[in-house]
Amino acid sequence: MTIKDHQTDIWRYALDLRKELGSVDLYDWINEQLELKIWRTSDNSGWKAEILLTFGGPTVSIDLDSRYTTSTLHHSWGAKENGDAQTSIELYSAALHEAIAEISEVMA
């Protein structure tokens, strides 16, 4: 299997991010990011969130959903590769999910 450069970047970024999330105060970390959006699901049974980490090259964000235990890390340089606008992989961080759940309750 051949991994293209933009795909290698996301794997490397995900590994670094997992290490970082394990060694910081998550509430401070979330507060330091560029943007946090939280909204209720259409049936009001849960929440979805997006954390914007970087933009402009590459744009990196994490999408979380209260219905799932994993989140999605998106990594995009803006150029389409084989019709795909970005590369994404699953990212597991129970602590990040818990922190966003608490924040969403405070905001409700």
pLDDT tens for 29-49 read: 999 999 999 999 889 889 999
How high is the pLDDT of residue 78?
A: 60
Which candidate, 42, 74, 37, 48, places its Cα nearest to that of 59?
Answer: 74
Q: Residue 99 pLDDT more than 80? A: yes
Contact 94, 69 (CB under 8 A): yes
Task: With H, G, I as helix, E, B as strand and everything else as coil, classify residue 2.
Answer: coil
What's the domain range around 27? 5-107
**Residues 48, 50, 13: CA angle, nearest 5 degrees:** 130
Find the mean pLDDT for residues 64-75.
91
Q: How many domains does the chain have?
A: 1
Find the mean pLDDT for residues 15-20.
91
Q: Residue 100 pLDDT more than 90? A: yes
Enumerate residues 6+ apart whose C-beta is below 8 A from 79. Answer: none
Tokens of 18: 């997992």
How high is the pLDDT of residue 98?
A: 93
Q: What is the pTM of this model?
A: 0.81
How high is the pLDDT of residue 3?
A: 45
The rounded Cα 24 to chain-centroid distance in angstroms is: 16
Find the mean pLDDT for residues 51-67.
88
